């Protein structure tokens, strides 16, 4: 009887934990968007969205790389409508998108300073990032009006 009760409690208590998840499965993943409104001759704008954090690591740099040709540090800013993400804009000819690798570098320190315990580098491709489903956009509330004295 005690074994049956223990089995029942184990099954009953473990079901909600499977249904709710542990939170790690919903971790943010990188994705990209193509901006068809921006055109400069034959070049196109690709927006890369990278999570600010990857586990315990912080995003510190983004690089665009093509073997034996270039290694460019890409500037990134807070993504306005995707909280928890940083955004980097890349302008590339559409025929060359597959020729470039994107590296997201994560560090154990938030400011990207001296790394004592290592870091993490993730190699990506713009074309594959375009296939990743983006999270829903979040329109931030307008700033509160300033009070006059």
Question: What is the rounded average pLDDT for all residues in the chain?
Answer: 79
* Domain assignment of residue 116, given as a range: 31-130
Share of the chain above pLDDT 70, in %: 75
- Domain membership of residue 60 (yes or no) is yes
* Closest C-alpha to 132, from 63, 31, 64: 31
> 81-111 as b/e, with b when 16 or more CB fall inside 10 Å?
ebeebbbbebeeeeeebeebebbbbbbbeee
- Domain membership of residue 68 (yes or no) is yes
CATH code at 66? 2.60.40
Using the predicted structure, report yes or no on whether residue 148 has a pLDDT greater than 90. Answer: no
Residue with tokens 């208590």: 13
Residue 27 banded pLDDT, cuts 50, 70, 90: low
pLDDT tens-digit readout, 43-71? 999 999 999 999 889 999 999 999 999 89
- Domain membership of residue 119 (yes or no) is yes
Residue 38 banded pLDDT, cuts 50, 70, 90: confident
- Domain membership of residue 16 (yes or no) is no
- Domain membership of residue 2 (yes or no) is no
- Domain membership of residue 140 (yes or no) is no
Tell me the C-alpha distance between 49 and 82, whole Å. 8
Using the predicted structure, report yes or no on whether residue 31 has a pLDDT greater than 90. Answer: yes
User: For the chain, how many structural domains are there in total?
Assistant: 1
Tell me the average pLDDT across 114-119: 59
Query: What are the backbone dihedrals phi and psi of residue 24, each rounded to the nearest 5 degrees, phi first?
Result: -75, -25
Using the predicted structure, report yes or no on whether residue 97 has a pLDDT greater than 70. Answer: yes
Task: Name which residue leads in pLDDT, 85 or 28.
Answer: 85
Using the predicted structure, report yes or no on whether residue 25 has a pLDDT greater than 60. Answer: no
Tell me the C-alpha distance between 108 and 56, whole Å. 7
pLDDT tens-digit readout, 126-145? 989 999 999 999 987 777 77
Count the helix, strand and coil residues of the chain and give each as a percent rounded to the nearest 5.
20, 40, 40
- Domain membership of residue 91 (yes or no) is yes
- Domain membership of residue 8 (yes or no) is no
Residue 41 banded pLDDT, cuts 50, 70, 90: confident
Are 62 and 88 in contact by the 8 Å Cβ rule? The answer is yes
Q: Which letter does DSSP use for residue 117 in this model?
A: S
Residues in a beta bridge with 49: 31, 87
């Amino acid at each position: 009887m005690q074994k049956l009760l223990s089995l029942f409690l184990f099954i009953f208590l473990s079901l909600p934990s499977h249904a709710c998840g542990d939170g790690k499965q919903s971790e943010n993943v990188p994705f990209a968007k193509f901006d068809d409104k921006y055109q400069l001759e034959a070049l196109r704008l690709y927006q890369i969205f990278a999570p600010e954090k990857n586990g315990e690591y912080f995003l510190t740099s983004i690089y665009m790389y093509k073997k034996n040709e270039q290694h460019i540090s890409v500037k990134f800013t807070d993504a306005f409508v995707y909280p928890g993400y940083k955004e980097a804009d890349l302008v590339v000819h559409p025929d060359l998108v597959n020729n470039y690798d994107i590296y997201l570098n994560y560090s154990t320190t938030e400011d990207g300073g001296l790394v004592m315990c290592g870091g993490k580098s993730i190699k990506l491709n713009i074309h594959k990032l375009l296939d990743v489903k983006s999270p829903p956009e979040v329109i931030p509330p307008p700033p509160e009006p300033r009070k006059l004295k």
